[in-house]
Structure 1
């Protein structure tokens, strides 16, 4: 079974990210995009992610935007990923 990746993003980048991932064609991983409800993904806080993200199924990794400033270790503990 392919590893499942969840990409977190905001409203403005969702369509572009979806086109980019779809353009990869067949990959060794399954992917899903989650819009956490902010306009710009860099504005996500740790609290927003904890409140708005629900992980279902077997998630291997959650991919955060490069400008995310929250504590990734806290999120990893909270979601078990």
Structure 2
């Protein structure tokens, strides 16, 4: 039927093309996942070997996601399907 060629489902191809690349690094995603779980900043910092200030601000993720704070970054990443 396809004579040895490849068949790609058009719906699957369209879905794949519409997915935006995630602007966050794996480390930023790990931190947002931990923050999304509601753990205290001090525990997240210890678990991920980060300073409490880094966890509290998550400035690079906040900037990349164009949101106001880490709580909004968690919501945005969740909305994007990344958490």
**By the TM > 0.5 criterion, same fold?**
no
TM-score when normalising by structure 1: 0.25
**Higher share of residues assigned strand:** 1
Please say which structure displays the higher CA radius of gyration: 2
TM-score when normalising by structure 2: 0.24
**Higher share of residues assigned helix:** 2
